[in-house]
Amino acid sequence: MCKPFDGSTIDQIDRWSKSVLVSRARSTEEKALAAFFAKRNVTVHKKDSCSPVGYVVHYAPKNVDTTFAYVLLVSILCGNSNAVRLTSDGVIRERQESLINEINSYVGTQTEIAPKEENYSLNAKLASNCDVRVIWGGDASVNEIRKAQLQPWAREITFRDRRSIALLNADLFLKTPGTHKKIANDVLWMQQASCTSTRGVAWLGEDKTVKEAIEVFVSLFGQLEFGAIERFVVVQSQAIERRKILGRFDSIVNVVCSKDEFAAQVQGCTAPGVVIHSHVDDLGLIKRFKDRSLQTVVELLTEKQRLELQEMIIAERVCDRVVCPGRSMEFGWIWDGYDLVSHLTHTIGSNVGIESFFDDPRSRESEELASHADRALRAGRLDEAKKHYSEAARLEEANALDVPGNVPRVRSVLAISAVSLWLKAGKCEEAYRAASLFLVNPDILTFEGRTELRTLITRVRE
């Protein structure tokens, strides 16, 4: 183990990141992983006053070869010792093992690969030694692994069966053709094996407009040139045969069902290459997803609809993420409701006053950058001003996310500052993303803070 966010570890992972990004032989998924861990993106999330949590055991998924590496690399950055139990699937296992060995060749802290067999005795041995257990898999896999009980002090992070959908205003969809390819990416990336892949689209609007929007959506996949589309395999289950097939283009089957069936059909459909559509009257259908199975919502909505969605999420925790079109596959330091750095480090208690958060190096640097941006703006150097505002917003947001829930006033002040800076930078999507991220946990914000963040959201697309 080493100190969390040690400079040498950050540099080692950054060198690995650069090697992947410059290679033409690497997949889109691998390059997305590498870009996330570039030094520029890592340093702003550095956490002080903490130590490694210890020994972390990761159970890799059977359907995606790179996803588990996000949490593995966060754990390495947090200074932990790590072991990975890979899937028994030959092709996926080979790719996962190759990725771990490649990371090990760059990083001083070596990640162990657990024995290949899958049995209770191995799970029990791993459980008895670990401080954190990370499970990627379906509900059945999670329940099976949990038969091996953890030590009383150990923690667990589970990434289970989840589904993701899009809430699209049909009129806005037709009027913004620039979003079409972005939505297609939300559907197609990861061969629909990821929990973030859009499996259903709920359309809002008049009957005629919705029908036209669905026709455009269906034709979209025949018009786009998408390099990975040949890899898609469509498996039509008996459930799909009972539904009305609207159309088939390339590797996507588009299925229309009633609004009452939508949630159940999306939850029950495991066939890759299937998108389920439904015309809905309001946003309330997202409450019908059972067992907190709804993970990501891609939204293209009016301001009124967006605010209604925010209120619903805050009141009832109907999903974990709300993103703009094209952003569903972007990983985050908070995932499925877990603050990964907090879960993978041990926080050292302190009686330091709340002023320490405002004196954080990131906050000081953010203030300096914002001051530079103000001067550039007054001098008419708009591009320079936007660049400085963006850097300031990124630092301020990272600092705000590290503020614990017992000081909501500080978290609120920094959150509002971060969102305001994103707006000054002209980054409306980033402003909306950041505000939504803070509002997902409203209890650790003040009433005034929640109100101001919602007000800022209404400004995003004015």
> What are 429-458's pLDDT values in tens digits?
888 888 888 888 777 888 888 888 888 877
Q: Rounded to whole angstroms, how far apart are CA atoms 161 and 138?
A: 5
pTM: 0.70
Neighbours of 146 (CB within 10 A): 15
Domain annotation for the chain: domains and CATH numbers: 7-159 (3.40.605.10), 163-333 (3.40.309.10), 354-459 (1.25.40)
Closest C-alpha among 79, 138, 162 to residue 345: 79
Closest C-alpha among 156, 115, 150 to residue 133: 156
Per-residue pLDDT, 242: 32
Burial class (CB in 10 A: 0-12, 13-18, 19+), 415: buried
Contact 139/159 with Cβ under 8 angstroms? no
Confidence bin at 208 (pLDDT 50/70/90): very high
Q: Which residue has the higher pLDDT, 222 or 194?
A: 194
Q: Tell me the mean pLDDT in the region 75-85.
A: 93
Q: Which tens digit of pLDDT belongs to each residue from 62-77?
A: 877 788 999 999 999 9
Q: Which residue has the higher pLDDT, 179 or 226?
A: 179
